[in-house]
A and B are shown apart, each in its own frame.
Chain A
Amino acid sequence: MLRIREVSKHYEKNGATVKALDGVSLSVKPGEFVVVRGPSGSGKTTLLLLCGALLPPGSGEVRFDGADVYSLSPNQRAALRAANVGFVFQQFNLIPYLSVLDNVLAPSLAKPDPRAAQRAAGLLERFNLSERASHFPAELSTGERQRVGLARALLNRPRLLLADEPTGNLDDENAQVVLSSLAGFAADGGAVLMVTHSRQADTYGHGTIHLMRGKIVTETAEEGH
């Protein structure tokens, strides 16, 4: 589904070159849950944004379903994201002035769908948020916020979930809920690429990529799922 080849992203800063990504190749298939690890500044977020059609690489190519993502027009890329990609963030990034329900429905702005409301209700139910539908993000606990974030990411039935330290701000219990949801998504045939520092993730991931200064240093695959 997602395949990136020899992707590099360099930044020039005060004459010095920062190699955020340096010749990275990887692929994520449907049903796969790939974990990305690495120290701060090693290029994890850069990799995720690049995979999410939000950040064009300096060189190399990013293909989604075989199509070169960055040869698409900006609007086509937006449509690609709306239809296929869900994002989950460490800071949740909920829209403060929208209720829980409206936050979950936000992706339908990009991809209108008459069944969106029904699906949103189902997702709230599933994440145990039905009671909170009319609440605002500020009124929620961090765990609840991330569940709203997950529900939002899932509304348009994406095929790829990109999660940047989704459990970074959560306690173990809530982290567990999020991780098992992501695993469930993969089990249902979705692809997950998750950046994390959490050890808990090891029980869910099917493979782990270690990044160091923009390069993949080790790649482990856990077979048998």
Chain B
Amino acid sequence: MNLWRLVTREIRYQKLNFLLGLLSVAAATGVLVAVLTMLRSHDMRTREILAQKQERTEQEMAKMKDDYRIIMKKLGFNLLILPAAQDLKQYYASGYVTEDMPEEYVNTLAGAGLMTIRHLLPSVERKISWSEQGGLQVILAGTRGEVPLTDRAPKEPMQVAVAEGEVVVGYELARSLKLRAGDSVMLLGQRFTVAGIHGERGTRDDITLWIDLATAQRMLGLQGRLNAILALKCLCAGNELSQIRRNVAAVLPGTQVIEVDSKVITRAEARERAGAVAKTALEAERENRAVIRAELEKFASWLAPVVILGVTLWVGLLTWGNVRQRRREIAVLRAIGISAGQVLKIFLSKALMLGAGGALIGYFAGLAAGTASGELSGGPAGALTLFSLTMLLSVLLVATVLCVLASWIPALMASSQDPAEVLREE
């Protein structure tokens, strides 16, 4: 015979009574665990949703950057700043610029602090017939590399300058003339070394020869003059051509601006807008989720104390009833020689079992309910994801401690009860 046996026998004898207590603790635990599980479920779902959206946004942004890289690589510059006098019909018909403008223009533009354009490349160009190659019609272009914008941190230039005495050959020319880097070629009586072959662009660039600006100016008789300034428009708000035209005209009245090709840019811009929208949507979703969570949390924050207080009082009341009911038994046990401490232990052990048992049942019931009504997909798999050992252990601990505390006063009453008083009442 030991106390444990006594306690379990009594529980078995008073099944309904114990069950009532057990169910109360289980219900309270269950409700709290269900709400906490719903919170957990909500958080997990939030993370899931945000991660998905984030990924989509990142994909959009990556595509946009990709497109931009494509523009840079394949298309080169997409804005052409030409002398105002240039007849565009003539330009479109012949494929090269015939008018010229002062070379300082590029410095003026670079110093103007325009936000809508970047990467300025001054150039001269003429269609020439390459006498050393049997009068082949090519475009000779001279550049001196990018002019850094004075108001911005220098970026990696899109196009580096061609050194004096070197030539960069367009794709189609190199292919048909079988030119390779390092080859030596004669051009209008001067010797040049092929510094590189330009990648295929599918534009007149493929039949262009690039040499340094000063040499080209000299060879073409255009000292101190430019035919065009190439630029890239920014990927930013207000980059409509009309806006750029107004900007440039304000700085350089003697010029005009045309846009070479904008399909890819348009796509990139669309992507950028999509990315921005996705980002706002992500933020909105985040906020929306936070509002829902706050509501759930608010609900939990008043529910928890009410439920805990309620069940604590209830368990205390149940124990008190149990103590009253067992007055005679307690007196007899005391007469037999059982100490007051042992009597206390009897009631506290019972409270312990009530708390632990109720919490265990309640946890799993709450987990099931919380999973079913939570946002993550339900079922055993959902419950498994939402299962938390920490929560189970905390719930066990809290419920047990609370039950023991709730039973403390009635148990003390039982242990300090005067056995003589009871035994006299035969």
* Chain B residue contacts of A182, Cβ below 8 A: none
* Chain B residue contacts of A82, Cβ below 8 A: 336-338
* Chain B residue contacts of A95, Cβ below 8 A: 329, 332-333
Q: How large is the interface on A (under 10, 10 to 19, 20 to 34, 35 or more residues)?
A: 35 or more
Q: Mark B1-19, 1 if CB is under 8 A from A, else 0.
A: 1110110011011100000
- Check: B334 CB closer than 8 A to any chain A CB: yes
Total chain B interface residues with beta-carbon distance under 8 A: 29
Q: Which of A29-37, A108-116, A196-204, A208-216 contacts B (4 or more CB under 8 A)?
A: A108-116
* Chain B residue contacts of A83, Cβ below 8 A: 337
Within 8 A of A (CB), among B389-426: 419-420, 423-424, 426
- Check: B288 CB closer than 8 A to any chain A CB: no
Q: Which of A73-81, A127-135, A173-181, A217-225 contacts B (4 or more CB under 8 A)?
A: A73-81
- Check: A107 CB closer than 8 A to any chain B CB: yes
Whether A46 contacts B424 in the complex (CB less than 8 A), given A81-B337, A102-B1, comes out as: yes
Are B423 and A49 touching (Cβ within 8 A)?
yes
Are B426 and A106 touching (Cβ within 8 A)?
no
- Closest residue of chain A to B14, judged by CB? A97
Query: Which A residues have a C-beta under 8 Å from some C-beta of B?
Result: 45-46, 49, 52, 54-55, 74-75, 78-83, 85, 87, 89-91, 93, 95-98, 102, 105-112, 116, 152, 156, 164-165
Q: Mark B314-333, 1 if CB is under 8 A from A, else 0.
A: 00000000000000110111
- Closest residue of chain B to A107, judged by CB? B336
Are A106 and B335 touching (Cβ within 8 A)?
no
Are B426 and A111 touching (Cβ within 8 A)?
no
A111 CA / B2 CA spacing, docked (Å): 10
Are A109 and B426 touching (Cβ within 8 A)?
no
- Closest CB of chain A to B196's CB: distance in Å? 100
* Chain B residue contacts of A74, Cβ below 8 A: 339-340
- Closest CB of chain B to A142's CB: distance in Å? 14
* Chain A residue contacts of B5, Cβ below 8 A: 102
- Closest CB of chain A to B414's CB: distance in Å? 14
Whether A78 contacts B337 in the complex (CB less than 8 A), given A95-B332, A96-B13, A97-B13, comes out as: yes
- Closest CB of chain A to B276's CB: distance in Å? 74
* Chain B residue contacts of A96, Cβ below 8 A: 13, 329
* Chain A residue contacts of B419, Cβ below 8 A: 54
- Check: B341 CB closer than 8 A to any chain A CB: yes
* Chain A residue contacts of B1, Cβ below 8 A: 102, 105-106, 108-109, 116
